Amino acid sequence: MGARENGIAVTTKLSGLPVKPVYGPEDVSQPLPAPGEFPYTRGIHETMYRGRLWTMRQFAGFATAEETNARYRYLLEQGQTGLSVAFDLPTLMGVDSDDPTALGEVGKCGVAISSLADMETLFRGIPLGDVTVSMTINSPASILWAMYLAVAEQQGVAWDRLSGTLQNDILKEYIAQKEYIYPPRPSMRLVTDSIEFAARRVPRFNPISISGYHIREAGSTAVQELAFTLRDGIEYVDWALQRGLQVDSFAPRLSFFLNAHNDFFEEIAKYRAARKMWAYTMRDRFGAREERSWKLRFHAQTAGCSLTWQQPQNNIVRTAIQALAAVLGGCQSLHTNSLDEAYALPSEHAVTLALRTQQVIAYETGVTREPDPLGGSYYLEHLTSVVEDAANDYIRQIDEMGGMIPAIERGFPQSEIARASYEYQHSVEHGESVIVGVNKFTDSEGQPIEVLQIDESAEKRQVARLRELRAQRNQAEVQRTLDALRRGAESDANTMPLILDAVKSYATVGEICAALKDVFGSYTEKSVL
């Protein structure tokens, strides 16, 4: 956090939170509950990692489905305990690999998936009933999830056996990441359709991962990340209740995705405050009665925006400290970034080292022996309360605006993040915030490393397969399912069964998104600054 200056509290550059020279018993106002007790400040399980370690879930995807399938098999052989799919930009934006706008981007930042045939290849030889899978996809989330469900059917795996997470958090796209297709309200309708479908048909799958990670990567403070993420969660609950769902029928399957940044204690305080705030929100604001509905479960990923291309070996240290904060903060699953990610997608060597970082923390440090090793720290408990109060102030402001969608339309969270990002960058450029190897302790000679090279022929191979698929499929059946989807989108029907039919006919991501766009239209953000 901050430093002591003449015995006076100073302010951290990352968040603006005041920090005293020293903390004592007078800074902890409330008695602490035990781990596993409401409001779960100290963790959602009584034994935490004594009973079960967090899931080690490395985010991976590049080039074609074949290459990514090979990487998944490798990671599972190395001891990874869950899969996480990274999709390329065309897929994230709902366009096919042969679309003119996809030229040069196919397979570059993730795996290219244009049809059910690609998804079949992606999970070939991987038993979906035995492994949990997370998919980082938002605007086309329902489509990619439908493909996943169809592959499970082909494998003979019942949907009630499937376990994993769909990111499906469209609100944070308007706030931070900007990978949206449709306007906010029809996009929220699609998210609500998937939440309803999961509650009724895929009960062990998390239909949404409410994500603060990308909000933080866009330049927010820890407080803003927490506040905007939880307020997004409130918005999703509101929409599901308006649909007629009972809160306890879907709330236990709402999950969260938070950043693990550099400020060690602030990050741990953020996780503790998140659990506490969500528990009270679900119990008191929404009247949830099942304990599982009160418990905030979260995946953490170390901070990609903290990685530097200068002195990339330093990224190993950053990632290890960030991962330790996530573990001490009580995460349920964790991705550790690789040292080379400021250059390219992770190489096999780098991703193995990132996984080994988690394994060293889990098996060598001893931090898993105690459910909440830092609980009771005067500084940490006070900081947890400060973060909670500051985040609640933001949530009250958004409530007064009428909710998150009106706030987004006014540009409120976007402008708050932009301001925080500017202030932090200004502090870096003026040397007030130190980045080792960048603005202090620099090395003019550099540290060259080997990086993953994407085979440039991957795009050509992907496009050729897609065109072959179009030539071989039943075009009349594709057209029938797309027409049915348009009619369903115009009505109040749940779109998930209609999307499933379209996927099984081998309609492509781009074709299905275009059909929905015919009804919903597209979205262009207005300037907020």
SS3 259: strand
65 with 153, same domain: the answer is yes
Helix%, strand%, coil% for the chain, nearest 5: 50, 10, 40
Mark whether 368 and 492 lie in a shared domain. no
- pLDDT tens per residue across span 257-303: 999 999 999 999 999 999 999 999 999 999 999 999 999 999 999 99
Range of the domain at 407: 10-32+52-429
List the CATH number of the domain containing 315.
Answer: 3.20.20.240
Give the closest residue to 129 by CA, choosing from 95, 172, 159. 159
Write out the chain's pLDDT in tens, 529 residues.
344 444 445 555 446 677 888 999 888 877 889 999 999 999 999 999 999 999 999 999 999 999 999 999 999 999 998 999 999 999 999 999 999 999 999 999 999 999 999 999 999 999 999 999 999 999 999 999 999 999 999 999 999 999 999 999 999 999 999 999 999 999 999 999 999 999 999 999 999 999 999 999 999 999 999 999 999 999 999 999 999 999 999 999 999 999 999 999 999 999 999 999 999 999 999 999 999 999 999 999 999 999 999 999 999 999 999 999 999 999 999 999 999 999 988 999 999 999 999 999 999 999 999 999 999 999 999 999 999 999 999 999 999 999 999 999 999 999 999 999 999 999 999 999 999 999 999 987 777 788 888 888 999 999 999 999 999 999 999 999 999 999 999 999 999 999 999 999 999 999 999 999 999 999 988 775 5
With a pLDDT cut of 90, the percent of the chain lying above it is 90
**Alpha helices (runs of H) in 202-335, residue ranges in sequence order:** 213-217, 222-243, 247-250, 264-280, 291-294, 314-328
Per residue in 135-146, pLDDT (tens digit) is 999 999 999 999
The verdict on 370 and 304 lying in the same domain is yes
Answer yes or no: is 435 within a domain.
no
Residues 388, 492 within the same domain: no
> Do residues 139 and 93 lie in contact, with contact meaning Cβ atoms separated by under 8 Å?
yes
At residue 4, the pLDDT reads 42
Q: Do 476 and 333 share a structural domain?
A: no
pLDDT confidence of residue 13: 47
Per-residue DSSP letters for 342-379? TTSSPPHHHHHHHHHHHHHHHHHS-TTSSS-TTTT-HH
**DSSP-derived secondary structure for 418-429:** HHHHHHHHHHHH
Looking up tokens 């797309």, which residue turns up? 482
| 469 shares a domain with 402 | no
- State in Å, rounded, how far the first CA of the chain is from the last one: 29
Strands 133-136 and 82-86: parallel
Q: Are residues 289 and 248 in the same domain?
A: yes
Dump the DSSP string for 84-142: EEEBPHHHHTT--TTSGGGTTTTTTSSB---SHHHHHHHTTT--TTTS-EEEE--TTHH
User: Which of the listed residues 386, 413, 429 is the one where a domain comes to its end?
Assistant: 429
Q: Does residue 456 lie within any of the structural domains?
A: no
Which residue, 129, 240, 235, 159, is CA-closest to 195? 240
Q: Is residue 308 part of a domain?
A: yes
Residue 39 in any domain: the answer is: no
Instruction: Please report the DSSP string for 160-200 in residue order.
Output: GG--EEE----HHIIIII----S-HHHHHHHHHHHHHHHHH
Say yes or no: 468 and 398 in one domain: no
Q: State whether residue 339 is helix, strand or coil.
A: coil
Do residues 363 and 501 both lie within one domain?
no
In angstroms, the CA 169 to CA 516 distance is 18
User: Would you state the torsion angle of the CA atoms of residues 428, 434, 435, 437, taken in this order, to the nearest 10 degrees?
Assistant: 110
Tokens 């869950």 found at:
82
Same domain, 467 and 413: no
Domain assignment of residue 119, yes or no: yes
Whether residue 1 lies inside any domain: the answer is: no
Kindly state whether residues 157 and 306 are assigned to the same domain.
Answer: yes
Single residue among 429, 448, 483 that ends a domain in this structure:
429
- Asked if residue 124 belongs to a domain, the reply is yes
In a domain? residue 454: no
Is the alpha carbon torsion for 147, 292, 404, 419 positive or negative?
Answer: negative
Structural contact between residues 269 and 380, judged by C-beta atoms closer than 8 angstroms: yes
Specify the residue for token string 């944070």.
Answer: 172
Same-domain status, 476 and 423: no
Q: How far apart are CA 486 and CA 489, in angstroms?
A: 5
Count of domains observed in the chain: 2
Backbone angles phi, psi at 260, to 5 degrees: -120, 100
If phi over 0 gives left and psi between -120 and 50 gives alpha, with beta otherwise, what is residue 245? beta
Residues 405/408/409/411 CA torsion (nearest 10 deg): 160
CA distances (Å), 73 to each of 112, 213, 305, 348, in order?
18, 26, 28, 12
CA angle 60, 64, 65 (to 5 degrees): 70
Domain end marker among 429, 451, 475: 429
Q: Give the strand pairing for 82-86 and 55-60.
A: parallel
